[in-house]
Amino acid sequence: MMPQPCRLAAHNRMIARAVLLSLVLLLPASIAIAGELFAIEPLADGVYAAIPHLRANCNAVIVILDDGVLVVEAEATPSAARALIDQIKKLTQKPVKYVVNTHLHSDHTQGNEAFLRTWPTGTEIISTIATRANLERQGIARWHNEILAMPQEISKLKSDLKTAASVEQRDTLLRDIMEAEDYFKELKTVHFTLPTLTFDRSLILNGGSRRVEILWLGRAHTDGDALVYLPAEKILVTGDVLHGWTPTMRDSYPYEWIDTLDAAERLEFDTVVGGHGDVMHGKARFELWKEFLRDIMQRTAAAYADGDSMEDAKQRVSEAMIPLYADRLPRFRKFIAEDVAKAYQIVNFRN
């Protein structure tokens, strides 16, 4: 079936996002798309994971309540959020009453406006107080910086085009340029939309036949991470506190992150949906991430104590950790150097 024109536009924008991120992170662009933007995976009666086909977006979770829908995560762009909304409408006619922003990062929040435009008076965007403050203080600035950086990214693609070595490379670059321009257009039209309902430690929806607990269990991937827990269904939604790839530490508090993972593990659950990667089961991944966090901090502290510069530590710790983790943590090689840099900053700050 051919995609609808509007969906096609959304797809194009998402491809652009993926390509751009690929360029920034030097990742291969994942652009194989057939049909919908998200694979919908049933988790329990009326609860679904929406797993994006493009890495630029994040996993969402759809929870159908008695009189509405709760969605965890708002995706990277309004067009991706609209695509998610279209897919939700195929599951239920109920309106989305709640959207949870698990933390400030743009791949989880930049689509917020699409929900408010679809249900202008009826949707609350929920986050921790800290995440709303982070979006105000850092999120808006990062969005502006990305807008400022994009023309340069596009110019770089255009200059690469002039020196393309093969027809295939040229075609890829032409497509990348078109898609980058498309994404840039959307980024400029984003109406940065902040959460409308905030909480400190927990916000519990008790109203209907399903109990939903939105929890802050401590600082972790950021200082404001919200987890969403469905006790009856034994489902835990962890945002980027725990997911299927490698932890990314840019805004993190790694020592406290370990404690927060411990706190999350004390909940009773079978199914875990993180912000990225596959749906998980049980607690094995919690143990792996804690091992990774302890290890990276110890190794970086040792490198620092030996007088290594940040660049030396990045190389030394990355090289030591690749054989231990690269097979167990997807995208390890992409993120490890930046993670060591963050670990180094923390060790340096403490000394």
Q: Which residues bind Zn ion (CB under 5 A)?
A: 105, 240
Looking at the DSSP bridge assignments, the partners of residue 237 are: 228, 273
Smallest gap, in angstroms, from Cβ of residue 240 to Zn ion?
4
What 3-state DSSP class applies to 217? Answer: coil
Smallest gap, in angstroms, from Cβ of residue 20 to Zn ion?
17
Closest-CA residue to 23 (of 123, 122, 219, 158): 158
What 3-state DSSP class applies to 71? Answer: strand
Select 105 or 285, whichever has its Cβ closest to Zn ion: 105
The residue with tokens 């393309």 is: 164
Select 164 or 190, whichever has its Cβ closest to Zn ion: 190
Select 107 or 233, whichever has its Cβ closest to Zn ion: 107
Tell whether the torsion through CA atoms of 156, 157, 158 and 160 is positive or negative. Answer: positive
Select 181 or 256, whichever has its Cβ closest to Zn ion: 256
Closest-CA residue to 215 (of 271, 225, 109): 225
- Residues 6 or more apart in contact with residue 195 via CB below 8 angstroms: 101, 112, 125, 126, 127, 131, 132, 135
Smallest gap, in angstroms, from Cβ of residue 108 to Zn ion?
6
Select 12 or 112, whichever has its Cβ closest to Zn ion: 112
Select 102 or 172, whichever has its Cβ closest to Zn ion: 102
Smallest gap, in angstroms, from Cβ of residue 7 to Zn ion?
26
Smallest gap, in angstroms, from Cβ of residue 102 to Zn ion?
8
What CA–CA distance (Å, rounded) separates 16 from 256?
35
Smallest gap, in angstroms, from Cβ of residue 126 to Zn ion?
17
DSSP 279-298: -EESSHHHHHHHHHHHHHHH
Smallest gap, in angstroms, from Cβ of residue 251 to Zn ion?
8
Select 179 or 251, whichever has its Cβ closest to Zn ion: 251
Neighbours of 163 (CB within 10 A): 9
Do 115 and 71 meet the contact criterion of CB atoms below 8 Å apart?
Answer: yes
